[in-house]
């Protein structure tokens, strides 16, 4: 039995607001024909929300009392044949997901007894254990594991539930997961571990917990070699990468150093960005910066910084979010390259007339974009599959859809297929651009259609779902990262401009001094 709007259904209202006796009274009064007598079902139905495919059981999970939620669930499943506990909504989630999120241990046990599988995964590859871990429902997590939930299952980001507990600072939950066999050394699709997320969010107690469990992130802390130097660079390599240098403003640029300085983290141009070789450098903090040398021989390592050989102009790399995401390395934009040239002219010995390849044009290869493009693709696919999503799949055809004035009203049309195409071609430069395009679809829908029309209502439902998924999937975190990166670049640009002004002023002063000297000599 499908219902267009669950929110107006009296049964849902009763489940949300009434106590157990009132709910029982409501069911006896309105659903008597579905009552199970002596174990026999005379008439059976399943009440479903047409928009979300949810059953009333999903709303029962939101009740404050765990015991009361169990008793009401028994009414809907056993006393009245109105709900199937294993039914999945459009997100492929059973009501067990919602019960776990609320931390209702007794309800979880009951639903598992009634057939819910604690290892079922939703559209994002996550199980009910992910939701309990994210919300810090430690006892529920412990109970689910006892009931067979696997803490080492991976979602579509190749992350376990431990990642989310660490990210959100759930100390007790992290401890519980470690005690129950979760593998803290698992790396996700971006080669990050749960420790990376704990560090990125400043959860020191969790960091200490992971360290005490001897699970330090090898990709960050374990050196590959302690003895490498420039002699380790292959003779045919044209690029040298240095890591861990000091930046006087934000620890993001190389600190020059003198003839006898040691180089840290040198790597061959053919090596992967995550295979950086660690070496020693005194007083060194910061990020990888890459530059190329022409005709560099391996026996000149001691004169590396004093060598005035003309070098090829090459892209630099920097780490913008050293604390939040220490494994994220980005190709430096022009602003950062100018900063490098300004701070270290003895290293930036390349012809000034040679331009830099605009790597920003190839957005899909940007390391930060790789992080969120995958989530964006999953998110837009889930919107397409949402009930009524087909309405917004393609651009409006005014003739076929009998709306000849559509493009007179809507000046910036957008559709799910357009967004998918832009993602495939790598046209989005930031997660904010992606969100704006999705929001544009709903804004256009609201602008053209009357508020009580089916299309407008469907659009509003999908918009609500979209905004919820931005939070649930952690996509909003990418927006925060983008903001932080832009703030860093803005600060660097301000420093560059200030330096240019100072240099211009010095130049004018020198010219003025020379002019005064000439006048003095003439007199």
According to the model, what pLDDT value does residue 262 have? 31
- CB burial of residue 222 (10 Å; 0-12, 13-18, 19+): exposed
Write down the pLDDT at residue 400: 87
Q: What burial class does residue 57 get, using C-beta atoms within 10 Å of its C-beta: 0-12 exposed, 13-18 middle, 19+ buried?
A: buried
CATH of span 365-473: 1.20.920.10
Residue 293 in this model has a pLDDT that exceeds 60:
no
Report the C-alpha gap between 30 and 162 in whole angstroms: 45
Q: For residue 487, name the pLDDT band (cuts at 50, 70, 90).
A: confident
pLDDT, tens digit, for every residue of 160-193? 999 999 998 999 999 999 999 999 999 988 889 9
- Please state, rounded to an integer, the average pLDDT across all residues of the chain: 76
Asked if 265 and 277 touch (Cβ cutoff 8 Å), the reply is yes
Q: What angle do CA 477, 482, 486 make, to 5 degrees?
A: 150
Does 1-116 match 365-473 in CATH topology? Answer: no
- Residues 6 or more apart from 104 whose CB is under 8 A from it? 61, 66, 69, 70, 140
If you average pLDDT over residues 135-160, what whole number do you get? 95
Answering whether pTM is above 0.75, one says no
CB atoms within 10 A of CB 158: 16
**Residue 247: left (phi > 0), alpha (psi -120 to 50), or beta?**
beta
CB 314 within 8 A of CB 288: no
Percent of the chain with pLDDT over 90: 36
Is CATH 3.10.180.10 the right assignment for the domain spanning 1-116? no
Burial zone of 125 (CB within 10 Å; 0-12 exposed, 13-18 middle, 19+ buried)? middle
Higher pLDDT pick, 29 / 358 = 29
Asked which of 292-301, 318-327, 490-499 is least confident by mean pLDDT, the reply is: 292-301
Yes or no: say if 363 and 427 are a contact pair by the CB < 8 Å rule: yes
pLDDT in tens, 307-359: 445 555 555 677 777 777 777 777 777 777 778 777 777 666 666 555 544 44
Which residues 6+ apart lie within 8 Å of 115 measured at CB? 85, 86
Least confident of 109-113, 276-280, 402-406: 276-280
Residue 28 has pLDDT above 50, yes or no: yes
Q: CA 338, CA 332: separation in Å to the nearest integer?
A: 10
Give the start-to-end residue ranges of the domains of the chain.
1-116, 223-359, 365-473
Bridge partners of 331, per DSSP, are 317
Do residues 181 and 175 touch, judged by C-beta distance below 8 A? Answer: no
Per the DSSP assignment, residues forming a β-bridge with 15 are: none
With beta carbons less than 8 A apart as the criterion, state whether 115 and 154 touch: no
Residue range 456-475, pLDDT digits in tens: 999 999 999 999 888 878 88
Structure confidence at residue 235 (pLDDT)? 30
d(CA 26, CA 79): 13
419: helix, coil or strand?
helix
């Amino acid at each position: 039995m499908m219902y267009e709007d669950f929110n107006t259904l009296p049964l849902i209202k009763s489940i949300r607001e009434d106590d157990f006796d009132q709910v029982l009274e409501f069911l006896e009064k309105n659903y008597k024909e579905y009552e199970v007598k002596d174990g026999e079902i005379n008439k059976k139905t399943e009440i479903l929300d047409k928009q979300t495919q949810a059953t009333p059981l999903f709303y029962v999970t939101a009740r404050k009392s765990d015991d009361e939620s169990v008793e009401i669930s028994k009414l809907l499943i056993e006393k009245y044949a109105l709900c199937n506990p294993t039914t999945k909504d459009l997100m492929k989630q059973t009501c067990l997901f919602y019960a776990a999120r609320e931390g209702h241990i007794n309800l979880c046990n009951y639903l598992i007894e009634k057939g819910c599988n604690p290892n079922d995964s939703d559209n994002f590859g996550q199980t009910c254990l992910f939701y309990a871990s994210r919300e810090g429902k430690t006892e529920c997590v412990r109970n689910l594991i006892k009931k067979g939930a696997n803490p080492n299952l991976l979602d579509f980001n190749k992350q376990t539930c431990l990642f989310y507990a660490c990210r959100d600072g759930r100390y007790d939950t992290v401890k519980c997961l470690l005690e129950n066999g979760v593998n803290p050394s698992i790396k996700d699709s971006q080669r990050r571990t749960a420790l990376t997320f704990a560090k990125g969010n400043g959860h020191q107690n969790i960091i200490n917990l992971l360290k005490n469990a001897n699970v330090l992130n090898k990709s960050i802390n374990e050196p590959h070699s302690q003895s490498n130097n420039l002699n380790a660079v292959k003779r045919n390599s044209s690029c040298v990468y240095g890591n861990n240098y000091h930046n006087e403003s934000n620890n993001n640029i190389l600190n020059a150093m003198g003839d006898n300085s040691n180089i840290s983290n040198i790597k061959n141009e053919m090596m992967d960005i995550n295979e950086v070789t660690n070496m020693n450098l005194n007083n060194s903090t910061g990020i990888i910066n890459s530059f190329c040398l022409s005709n560099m021989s391996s026996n000149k390592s001691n004169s590396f910084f004093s060598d005035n050989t003309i070098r090829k102009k090459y892209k630099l790399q920097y780490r913008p979010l050293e604390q939040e995401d220490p494994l994220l390395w980005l190709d430096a934009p022009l602003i950062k390259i100018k900063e490098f040239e300004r701070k270290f002219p003895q290293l930036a010995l390349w012809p000034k007339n040679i331009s830099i390849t605009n790597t920003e044009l190839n957005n899909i290869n940007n390391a930060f974009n790789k992080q969120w493009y995958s989530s964006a693709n999953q998110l837009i696919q889930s919107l397409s599959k949402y009930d009524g999503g087909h309405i917004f799949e393609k651009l409006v055809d005014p003739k076929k859809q009998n709306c000849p004035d559509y493009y007179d009203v809507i000046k910036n049309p957008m559709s799910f297929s357009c967004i998918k195409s832009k993602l495939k071609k790598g046209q989005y430069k930031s997660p904010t651009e992606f969100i704006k395009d999705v929001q544009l679809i709903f804004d256009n829908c609201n602008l053209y259609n009357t508020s009580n029309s089916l299309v407008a209502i469907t659009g509003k439902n999908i918009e609500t779902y979209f905004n919820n998924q931005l939070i649930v999937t952690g996509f909003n975190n990418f927006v925060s990262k983008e903001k932080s990166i832009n703030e860093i670049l803005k600060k660097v640009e301000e420093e560059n401009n200030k330096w240019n002004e100072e240099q211009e002023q010095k130049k004018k002063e020198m010219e003025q001094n020379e002019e005064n000297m000439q006048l003095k000599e003439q007199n």
